[in-house]
Every structure is written in C-alpha cells, then in structure tokens.
C-alpha cells in the first residue's frame, strides 16, 4: 500500500483521522494510516464491556464538548450526540461537594447561604493575599481564583496527586481550564455543545474513515524498521503526518519532554450503581487515586442494554511517564517549553513531515481542539503537499 499512498499518517487518533478524512474528501488522496495500537481512535477509543454493557473509555473518560461551530458541524457528520451533560462531584473530608467550584460548593463548604455578590466579596477577600500580582504558577493562580481555604480543600491535593508535583511548580494555565462560578450552575463545561456519541466513540471514528481510499495498518510502529512502513524508509519520499511524541521521533536527541500517565485499577461490584454519578473526584491526600469513573452512568439512555446487577468502576492513579508508558498529560514546565521550542527547529528541517495532535505538538488539547487544529493543518500544511492530486 505504501508505494501507492499519497499521504502517510502516523497515528489513528482524532488528529490523524481528521486529516485522513479531509485528504480523501477534498483531494481524492489515497491514505495509509499506521497505528501502533490494535485499535483506531487514539486515547478516545472505547469498547463495550460484556458483563455490564458499559462503554469503557479504555484510555480514560472522554466527554465531548465544544463552542466551535465548525467543529460541532464537522463531528455531527459522523455521529449524533446524546443529551449527556457532564457533572462532577468531589469527596473532601468525608463530604461530597459539587465541582467545579460554584455557589453550591462555596455555601456547603462555609455552611452559609451567601448570595452571589456576598460570595464574590468573601472570595476576593480570601484571595487578597495575592492581590495585584500576576499568578505565574498553579498554586498562586488557584489562590487568586478561589482564595486559600477552597484552594487547599479542592485543588491543592488533587492537583498534587494528578501531576505528582508541587502545584507551585506547575503552569497556571492548567487550572484555568476549570471554571469557578458564583451561581448554582454546576455544569462541568462551559461550552455551547456537549454530549456523547450515541453509538459509542469507535462507531464515530469508523465512519470518519469509511472509504476504500483509506487503509489502516494496526499494531505497527512507525519506528520499527523490520516492517516496511517505517520512518527511515518513508521520510522525504511521501508526505507524512506524524501524531506521535515529538521527542521520540527525534530519538530523544535533545532530551525527554515530561508527561504524566495514568494507571487504571478496575473494580467490579455486584450492585447496579456504585458511585451514584459517572465521575467522583477525591480531593484529599489520603485517597491515593484522583478520581473514580463509573462508565455505565455516562449513558443512562442505554438503560435497557445494561446489566443492573453488576457495575464496573475504574480508579485513576497518576504518575510520571517513562518512555515506555502512554504519555497522557504534557507537564509543560518552563524547561519543557524551552525543550519543545528546540525540537521545533528540528521539525522545520524535516522534509514533508507535518507534526500534529496532542503528542506531536506537546499540547494539552481536548478533542474539539485537536479536530480544529487538524482542519487548519490540513488546509495550511497538508493540502499544499497534495496539490498535484486530482480531485
């Protein structure tokens, strides 16, 4: 296949799948996708659990959300979405609170009945210790957003567990992902659209590449020179979109970029509902995992297809990733950013290779952002390389 392919894509995650779909639809290209894992979908891949009927998100819970009309229109070509609206709870000192921090959390925490204005004044007072300074790490950003007491209860230890680092050494941007609200709105996301693919993530992804001009080779590593679709054989001969880790592509020549990975511990219970919600965070240090996911609860609309005598829950344990682990969260300290900038100069010199996606650009992107970046990258970087193809 590689001799006939007009475009090689390394990685069948959302970045790679979007590029493949566009290359076929807009340029009539013949595309070869090389994927190291045994399945498409990258980290958003899911499968159905036989015992419970739950859709298990194999690499961690994935909730689709976006405010980007172009992306929303695009994804709806391949799947419809359920009406699922994401809500999260967190356990702190034996009590359950709504997340993200909202007026309900604040009033429960302070045993009060503050109005929005009163709560804003209280938080401004509690955040006052950092007034006038620009927070340049997660610790200071957290205190500025919600004041020290709430920060220490809900953010400090959870963050330390998730990132396995002191929050004062982490970038402030991580915590800006989470809204803080002075009303009782406890929707986790603030986006215009959200939901879950009605017949699962994998069915959505299969539809994106349902075209005879797209060929997928699974369980094949681009760096394995014992198989024909490898870097040494292909670079410079055919346009390539690479969505794997950027440092790995260059054999870690300049050093390793830091990632966090997650280990999942599966627990099965002979109950219909163990947590009472899809996601329960654990804010305190004494619980070693960050959160627990009960997959069945993401899809209440599948009630009739689910088993109500058993349920499956995954606990998430975060740790630093070594080269052989799945890289999940880019740590992005100042030193990482500098190292990535150095890799970018090497990327620029790589003939006909476009680096994309969360791993290829060392970026903490959600699915909708990856699709948006892929649509842009197709137009600006990939299509010019395919320009001689007939439509």
Are 204 and 57 in contact by the 8 Å Cβ rule? The answer is no
Q: Does 359 bind ligand FAD (CB under 6 A)?
A: yes
Q: Site mask, ligand UDP, residues 270-289, x = CB under 6 A?
A: -----------x-x------
Q: Does 243 bind ligand FAD (CB under 6 A)?
A: yes
Q: What residues between 146 and 185 interact with ligand UDP by CB under 6 A?
A: 154-155, 158-159, 162, 174-175, 177-178
Exactly one of 66, 79, 90, 306 binds ligand UDP (CB under 6 A); that residue is 90
Q: Does 23 bind ligand UDP (CB under 6 A)?
A: no
340 binds, among ligand FAD, ligand UDP, none (CB under 5 to 8 A by kind): none
At residue 317, φ and ψ (nearest 5 deg) are -115, 120
Question: Please, what is the angle between helix 138-150 and helix 156-163, to 10°?
Answer: 140
Distance in Å, CB of 155 to ligand UDP, minimum = 4
Nearer to ligand FAD, 103 or 262 (CB): 262
Q: Does 99 bind ligand UDP (CB under 6 A)?
A: yes
Nearer to ligand UDP, 34 or 101 (CB): 101
Exactly one of 106, 370, 375, 386 binds ligand FAD (CB under 6 A); that residue is 370
Q: Among 20-28, 42-50, 250-258, 282-290, which window interacts with ligand FAD (CB under 6 A)?
A: 42-50
Which residues, 6+ apart, have CB-to-CB distance to 351 below 8 Å?
A: 235, 236
Exactly one of 42, 167, 171, 330 binds ligand FAD (CB under 6 A); that residue is 42
Nearer to ligand UDP, 14 or 155 (CB): 155
Q: Does 20 bind ligand FAD (CB under 6 A)?
A: no
Q: Does 366 bind ligand FAD (CB under 6 A)?
A: yes
In Å, how far from its chain's centre is CA 311?
24
Binding residues for ligand FAD, per CB under 6 A? 10-16, 34-37, 42-44, 59-64, 221-223, 243-244, 262, 328, 357-359, 365-368, 370
Residues at the site binding ligand UDP, with contacts judged by CB under 6 A: 90, 99, 154-155, 158-159, 162, 174-175, 177-178, 281, 283
């Amino acid at each position: 296949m590689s001799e006939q392919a007009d475009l090689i894509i390394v990685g069948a995650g959302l970045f790679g799948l979007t590029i493949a779909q566009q290359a076929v639809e807009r340029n009539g290209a013949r595309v070869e996708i090389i994927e190291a894992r045994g399945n498409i979908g990258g980290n958003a891949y899911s499968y159905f659990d036989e015992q419970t009927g739950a859709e298990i998100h194999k690499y961690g819970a994935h909730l689709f959300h976006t405010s980007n009309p172009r992306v929303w229109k695009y994804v709806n070509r391949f799947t419809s979405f359920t009406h699922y609206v994401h809500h999260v709870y967190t356990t702190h000192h034996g009590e359950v609170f709504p997340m993200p921090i909202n007026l309900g959390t604040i009033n429960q925490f302070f045993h009060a009945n503050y109005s929005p204005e009163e709560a804003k004044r209280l938080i401004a007072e509690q955040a006052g210790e950092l007034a006038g300074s620009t927070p340049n790490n997660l610790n200071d950003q957290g205190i500025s957003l919600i004041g020290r007491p709430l920060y220490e209860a809900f953010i400090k230890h959870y963050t330390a567990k998730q990132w396995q680092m002191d929050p004062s050494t982490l970038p402030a941007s991580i915590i800006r992902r989470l809204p803080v609200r002075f009303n009782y709105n406890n929707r986790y996301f603030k986006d215009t659209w959200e939901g879950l693919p009605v017949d699962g993530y994998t069915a959505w992804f299969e539809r994106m590449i349902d075209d005879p001009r797209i060929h997928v080779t699974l369980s094949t590593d681009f760096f394995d020179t014992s198989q024909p679709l490898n870097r040494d054989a292909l670079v410079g001969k055919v346009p390539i979109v690479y969505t794997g880790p950027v440092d790995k592509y260059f054999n870690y020549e300049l050093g390793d970029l830091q990632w966090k990975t997650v280990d999942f511990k599966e627990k099965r219970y002979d109950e219909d509902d163990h947590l009472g919600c899809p996601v329960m965070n654990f804010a305190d240090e004494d619980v070693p995992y960050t959160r627990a996911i009960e997959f069945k609860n993401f899809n209440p609309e599948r009630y009739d297809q689910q088993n109500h005598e058993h349920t499956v829950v995954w606990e998430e344990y975060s740790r630093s990733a070594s080269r052989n682990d799945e890289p999940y969260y880019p740590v992005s300290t100042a030193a990482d950013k500098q190292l990535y900038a150095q890799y970018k100069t090497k990327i620029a010199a790589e003939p006909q290779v476009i680096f994309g996606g969360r791993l290829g650009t060392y970026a903490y992107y959600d699915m909708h952002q990856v699709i948006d970046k892929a649509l842009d990258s197709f137009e600006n970087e990939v299509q010019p390389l395919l320009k001689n193809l007939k439509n």
